[in-house]
Amino acid sequence: MASISLRKVLKHYGTGASAQPVIHGIDAEIDDGEFIVIVGPSGCGKSTLLRMVAGLEEISGGEIAIGPRVVNDLEPAERDIAMVFQNYALYPHMSVFDNMAYGLKIAKVPKDEIKTRVDKAARILELGHLLDRKPRQLSGGQRQRVAMGRAIVRQPQVFLFDEPLSNLDAKLRVQTRLEIQKLHRELGITSLFVTHDQVEAMTLAQRMIVMNGGRMEQFGRPETVYARPASTFVASFIGSPPMNLVPGDAGPDGLTIGARTLALPPGAVSPVQGPVTLGIRPEHIRVLAADEPPAPGHWPLFVEMVEILGAEHLIYGQLGGQGSERPVVVRTDESVPLPEIGSTLQLAPRTDRLHWFSAQDGRRIGD
Ligand SMILES: Nc1ncnc2c1ncn2[C@@H]1O[C@H](COP(=O)(O)OP(=O)(O)OP(=O)(O)O)[C@@H](O)[C@H]1O
Ligand SMILES: [Mg+2]
């Protein structure tokens, strides 16, 4: 096992005037045995970063260390890592056992050692009864487990996963996610796991790196990233449905949006006066009961759409009444009666769950 250090890691494709910067200087210290998820939208540089750690991609600047060793100039085979990809690419003509054993055979590991390691991996992954099958006789989830088995038997210092679950259907994804968690508990191997799925990131990560356009927007524990997002980007990327972001002008009476001023809930103050973006998650807004009188700090919502998702309802509408053009979403449970489209509800946002972001660069302001 080993720690991983990323120090001012840069990447550009091409040279000279045609150089395309892709990773703009990433710093992160990953502890020995940690499970880190790298999450961000398509094209933000997740795979590039992972491939640089693997040694499959050269780095254009900075330093990567695995344990005490700087690995910038080491070949992938010398880095003591194992990678699991989205396309598990098993050898179709080989049995499950041989697929897992292949890398060890090439490395001339003695036969009985190979058997011990494959049997152990098969036990952990519950593949013991499938060792004689060919890949075509397996389900997608089982194939993905074989691909993980192939990585486990190598007993690497570091696991690198690049969207290993994205070919699986939703149910199997959840199941395999649990297996990966179990695997990490048992083996405790330092892992970097890439995904663009924020639910996967939240549930798997001990800490997560949120990337945007080749930059690290935030590096922290999932509960911190959710509770105190570092920017509007993180706020709208993590959480489903995303955080409501309401740009306005903060003044003594509250937040002015167009022609209307919304009073803030009691105890809430904007950390700045003037242009600012207010954030509040859909689950941190309460809908007032019909017989509850609205008070200062309650906001009217003109209801435009309702989504019924079973245990919860999502109510979409415009804040400050009809025509304010600030769509927001509120999450309620079945206990709240479904509103009529076109009606106006009163909302009570939670004072302790308001977020404030700079109108200039979207960074979090205050605490
Ligand atoms: N070989 C290459 N040459 C030039 N540009 C590249 C090359 N490989 C990747 N890129 C660019 O680098 C950027 C980051 O790509 P990368 O594959 O790391 O994104 P990603 O976050 O993994 O996206 P996805 O979620 O779609 O897999 C993209 O803009 C991509 O077009
Ligand atoms: Mg990728």
CATH topology of domain 4-237: Rossmann fold (3.40.50)
Contacts of 167 (CB under 8 A, 6+ apart): 86, 87, 140, 144
pLDDT bucket at 179, cuts 50 / 70 / 90: confident
| 281's tokens | 């998650």
Residue 130: is its pLDDT beyond 90? yes
Residue whose Cα lies nearest atom 31 of ligand 1: it is 43
Instruction: Give the pLDDT of residue 324.
Output: 63
Domain at 244-365, CATH from 1.10.10.10, 2.40.50.140, 2.60.420.10, 3.40.50.170: 2.40.50.140
| Ligand 1 pocket check for 48: Cβ under 6 Å | yes
From the list 306, 278, 305, 289, the residue with the least C-alpha distance to 346 is: 289
- Please give the share of the chain, as a percent, with pLDDT higher than 70: 98
| Nearest-angstrom CA–CA distance, 166 and 149 | 18
Query: pLDDT tens across 276-331, in order?
Result: 999 999 999 999 998 999 899 999 999 999 999 988 999 999 987 666 667 899 99
Instruction: Give the pLDDT of residue 162.
Output: 94
Instruction: Give the pLDDT of residue 321.
Output: 64
- 257 or 96, which is more confident: 96
Instruction: Give the pLDDT of residue 223.
Output: 97
Helix (H) / strand (E) element for 204: namely: helix 198-204
Its pTM stands at 0.92
- Please give the share of the chain, as a percent, with pLDDT higher than 90: 78
How many angstroms separate the alpha carbon of residue 99 from the centre of ligand 2?
A: 24
- Indicate the domain borders of the chain: 4-237, 244-365
| Ligand 1 pocket check for 229: Cβ under 6 Å | no
